[in-house]
Amino acid sequence: MTARGDQSKAGYSHRCNLTQLAIQILRQSIPLLFRLLPFLFYGFSFAIIAASLMHIKLNTMKKILFTLLCFIIALSTVQAQKGINFNYTYAAGGKLLMNIDSLAKNVSYDNIFPNQPRTSFNYLPEVHHLSIQINFRKNINIQHYRYTILIDDKPMVVNQPINEAQLKDSHAGGDEEIFRSMILGTFNIKGKVITTLLYSIDKPQDIDKAVFYGKPIPKAQIKGFAKPTPVVNGYSFGSLIDSKEKIKLNLTKKDDELTIIKDKSAIDYVYYTKIKDKQTNKIIFESTAWQYGGYIDNHEFMPHIKLNKTVFKKSGDYEIIIQPLFSQWNITPKEMEKYTARYTLAITLDQENYSKSELWIYVLRAVLAIGLAFIVILYFIKKRNQKKLAENEQQKNTAKLRLNAIRSQLNPHFMFNALSGIQNLMNKNEIDNANKYLSKFARLTRNVLHDRELISLAQEETLLDDYLQMEQLRFGFQYEINHPENLDLDITEIPAMLLQPFVENAVKHGISKKGAEGKISIAFMQQGKDLLLTVSDNGNGFDITKKNNGLGLQLSNNRITLLNDIYKENRFTLAVQSNPGGTKISLTLTDWL
């Protein structure tokens, strides 16, 4: 162990010669021996009674007595060792040094506290005897110094000048420098508080104070809490609160501060306060100093600390911990608990406070959450779009299929009647004609069965020509297919079986009853970039405003709708004109050429 000296150098030990030490031990053991006398007496009488009862021989008796005596002497020697150890000197603050019981434990010396720069606190709860020594540098005007010693606040010596006759030269810790020193006194400190005050008359305000605390430091107590809402009659404390109790506090918008009031003690300054967030186990507040003024109890200013409300970020449980703060104190946490006051504070906040970093975290989380939600929504939208796209595709496909279905529906009625017509040619022995029409019929059927999406206008012309010739065989009308020279029929393509249904309508509803007078005109025309296809007949016409004008027109309209579904952009436009003099359908394929 090293001790810390004042003014000179830290850590020096005091050296005495051996005789001095022996005298010291003897001096210490005499009162101890006196104290042990009753035990010795009882011991001897017990031994004699026991011996007489047990008929032990005198020789043996002597041995036992000797052993016992040796034991007692050894014990008293140990006791004597517990006396002041002058070999070991502690710094005690200011110009003071101290020597204490050699076996004393739990010693904390020369503690300086915030706002108490001239006070040195020496904690000696297990010390019995204390010797206080004062050291002066040689250049100091010793006559100007005055000292006061208080024992438990009762003055023993007041403003005493230094008796220079008692000053001796001494080396502080083997230092070159020689100090003038004297022993201020030796005290029985157990259960007492000894306070020394030292000042120079040159500076009577600079009083060095040393406190030698010879009893356990009491646990701090919270006297109450106050919210600084001004009341006419000052503030009223809450009732005394047991540390086991949970203190519930509601901090409203109006409350800015919370004041924690501690009980009054002569050594308030040794206590420091911290507040722990029980959820995070983090210390959110620490204070080493107490404030005075404003809170008065029993005519005394009460020590208190003020907390800004923002210390408490969230509602929840907080722990107020008040304990002594010594710079050098070897103490186990378990022992420390004896000095520690703990209070649980259940805070309810009307408005939660967040620190910047917390806010950032929350903002980040919110952004993340929103981002995630956004991504999820985006994902679903995309999925839905994909589904829509797939549906569109499917729609297109079904449209195609349906178109195919309509396309392949070359009217069976026509087909079988056409065959019947060929049968008639055969029966009439018009074998050449029968061959011709049979070939046409075969080609027509082949074209219809051959499932192509697009065919050239030339192919369409052939198909219509075949078809109309077959129909001609049945009804004997006239027809023509016209197109301008500059329209390239081989290159221009149109959806297969586009015109056939319109032509069939013209035959069926237009001219079938007119016989040889009937006439059908088909024209392929170019109008700018559009392809215009027309089918006209000189039949009796029909009322286009009437619904259900035969299956044919309905089918045609369906076909146009389907084609627009497939090719998009409404590129197919159907116009129907009909009057009693005839019917004309015009099919425009926009931007086709």
Partner 1 sequence: MKAVLIDDEISNLENLQALLNKHCQQVTVAATAQNVNDAVAAIEKHAPDLVFLDIQMGEQTGFEVLKLLPRRNFEVIFVTAYDQYGIQAVKFAALDYLLKPVDIEELKDAVNKAERKLAAQAPGSQLDFLLQQLKKPEASVSKIALQMQNEIRYIGLTEIIRCEADNTYTHFFLADGEKILVSKSLKEYADLLRPNGFLRTHQSHLVNPKYVKSWLKEDGGILLLSSGEKIPISKPNKETVKKALQQL
Chain positions contacting partner 1, by CB under 8 A: 412-417, 419-425, 427-428, 473-476, 508-509, 512-513, 550
By beta-carbon proximity to partner 1, the closer residue of 422 and 562 is 422
Least Cβ distance, residue 433 to partner 1 (angstroms): 11
Q: How far is the CB of 422 from partner 1 (least distance, A)?
A: 7
Nearer to partner 1, 347 or 448 (CB): 448
Residue 400, Cβ density class (10 Å: 0-12 exposed, 13-18 middle, ≥19 buried): middle
Q: Decide if 332 contacts 280 (C-beta within 8 A).
A: no
423/527 with CB nearer partner 1: 423
Identity of the residue, 285 or 475, whose beta carbon is nearer to partner 1 in the bound complex: 475
Residue with the two structure tokens 């109309």: 468
Closest separation in Å from C-beta 472 to partner 1: 11
Q: What's the closest the beta carbon of residue 415 comes to partner 1, in angstroms? A: 8
**CB of 413: closest distance to partner 1 in angstroms?**
5
Contact 531, 379 (CB under 8 A): no
Name the minimum Å distance from CB 424 to partner 1: 3
Q: How many Å apart are CA 98 and CA 109, to the nearest integer?
A: 9
Stretch (H or E) spanning 97: strand 96-100
β strands within 145-268, DSSP E: 145-151, 154-161, 168-171, 178-188, 193-200, 203-213, 222-226, 246-251, 257-262
Residues 445, 558: Cα–Cα separation, whole Å: 23
Q: Which is nearer to partner 1, 262 or 519 (CB)?
A: 519
Of the two residues 296 and 431, which places its CB atom closer to partner 1 in the complex?
431
Task: Quote the crossing angle between the two packed helices 412-427 and 457-475, to the nearest 10°.
Answer: 60
Question: DSSP code of 144?
Answer: G
Place of tokens 């003020």: 306
Q: For partner 1, give the closer residue by CB, 43 or 476.
A: 476
Q: Looking at beta carbons only, is 483 or 509 nearer to partner 1?
A: 509
Q: Whole-number minimum distance, CB 450 to partner 1, in Å? A: 22
CB of 543 to partner 1, least distance (A): 14
> Measured from the CB of residue 412, what is the shortest distance to partner 1 in angstroms?
4
To partner 1, the closest distance from the beta carbon of 418 in angstroms equals 9
Cross-strand pairs, 547: none
Specify whether the CB–CB gap between 96 and 79 falls below 8 A: no
DSSP letter string, 394-463: HHHHHHHHHHHHHHT---HHHHHHHHHHHHHHHHTT-HHHHHHHHHHHHHHHHHHHS--SEEEHHHHHHH
Cβ 167 vs Cβ 129: under 8 Å: no
Name which of 476 and 541 has its Cβ closer to partner 1: 476
Instruction: For partner 1, give the closer residue by CB, 127 or 511.
Output: 511
> For residues 46 and 36, what is the distance between their CA atoms, to the nearest angstrom?
15
In degrees and rounded to multiples of 5, residue 326 shows phi and psi of -115, 140
Angstrom distance (rounded) from CA 421 to CA 442: 14
